Amino acid sequence: MILAHADQVSRRYGDVLALDRVDLTVRAGELVGLLGPNGAGKSTLINLLVGLRRPTAGRVELFGGDPRDATSRRRLGVTPQETGLPGTLRVGEVVDFVSAHFPDPVPRAELLDRFGLADQVRRQTGGLSGGQRRRLAVALAFIGRPRLVILDEPTTGLDVEARHSLWEAVRAFHSEGGTVLLSSHYLEEVEALAQRVVVIGHGRVLADDTVDAVRGIVGVRRVSLIADELPPLPGVVSTEHAEGRTHLLTTDADQLVRDLVRAGVAFRELEVRPTSLEEAFLTITADDRPTAVTA
Ligand SMILES: Nc1ncnc2c1ncn2[C@@H]1O[C@H](COP(=O)(O)OP(=O)(O)OP(=O)(O)O)[C@@H](O)[C@H]1O
């Protein structure tokens, strides 16, 4: 069963094309990561799926209906990127207030315990640390026992321990049959949680595949050097020339360097460095190479 669906969705903000003909399907029971650099379009896509914005073109569906219709959002839990909590209310009061909107909410103590906030129940939210506030905002998405939870960069600003306990809560929800779509800048986070990952860059879906397949693509390294001429080199996924240097993208930098030496290439000023996600994906797609099959 499809819980959330974007079909050839575009969204423009003035001159900025934030999303460009994006397709995304989230099925019941999946835990899908939405991965991409700053400005890639992740929040825009999430805002369309949860009915906060309308697409400029294309169609968005939530539980088979229009996300802007409140009835379509009944089984949805969301934590947007920016959340505001009333600073003078206590943690317990905020939880009670949100709970009152749902027929069968998760009991307060259970929810706060799951998100490591049991000790904070009497604290005013204005006095919480940024990380505690973020955890509370994420916890509120789970309060109404949703079928689908959408989290926009849930762990931004959290320390390692808080991040891991939040991952545990997301995993527990998923293992009980819940469906999750979460956005992140961090491959590590998506690897820790998701089975499927949708990579977005410059408003387009660059890959939609298993985490393993995408890890392979992201594992691309940049080998850059100065050389007059290069023989054909196996394992090179893209070659660029800029300012007298040659940049080779490869999935196995060690082997590429061995191949260069073996071929007797007179190179100098060799550098090997990781590519950013954006570089890896954009370079590969700009080259029109197949990146990954659509799941
Ligand atoms: N309300 C808006 N008005 C104008 N431009 C916007 C608006 N919201 C987003 N954009 C632009 O749309 C593009 C996509 O932004 P979006 O916030 O969706 O990306 P993101 O992947 O969520 O980035 P981040 O990881 O930084 O949150 C960016 O170029 C951004 O500047």
- The Cα–Cα gap between 61 and 70 comes to 12
Q: How confident is the model at residue 292 (pLDDT cuts 50, 70, 90)?
A: very low
Tell me which residues have their CB closer than 6 angstroms to ligand 1: 13, 16, 18, 36, 38-44, 81, 185
Confidence of residue 188 (pLDDT cuts 50, 70, 90): confident
Burial class of residue 269 in the structure, from the number of CB atoms within 10 Å of its CB (0-12 exposed, 13-18 middle, 19+ buried): exposed
| Amino acid at position 227, single letter | A
Say what the pLDDT of residue 273 is: 85
Phi-psi region of 259 (alpha: psi -120 to 50; beta: other; left: phi over 0): alpha
On whether the CB atoms of residues 215 and 231 are closer than 8 A, the answer is no
Report the separation in Å between the CA atom of 206 and the middle of ligand 1, taken as the mean of its atom positions: 17
Place of tokens 């899908």: 32
Question: For residue 91, what pLDDT is reported?
Answer: 97
Tokens of 96: 């009670």
How many residues are present in the chain? 295
CB of 54 closer than 8 Å to CB of 68: yes
Is a pLDDT exceeding 60 seen at residue 118?
Answer: yes
Q: 238 C-alpha vs ligand 1 centroid, how far in Å?
A: 29
pTM above 0.90, yes or no: no
- ipTM > 0.90, yes or no: yes
Cβ-contact 236, 217 below 8 angstroms: no
Sign of CA dihedral 190, 192, 194, 196: positive
Q: Compute the 3-state secondary structure of the chain and give helix, strand, coil in percent, each to the nearest 5.
A: 35, 30, 35
Out of 9, 11, 13, 34, mutate this one to test ligand 1's pocket (max ligand atoms within 8 Å of CB): namely 13
Best residue for ligand 1 mutational test, from 16, 153, 185 (most atoms within 8 Å of Cβ): 16
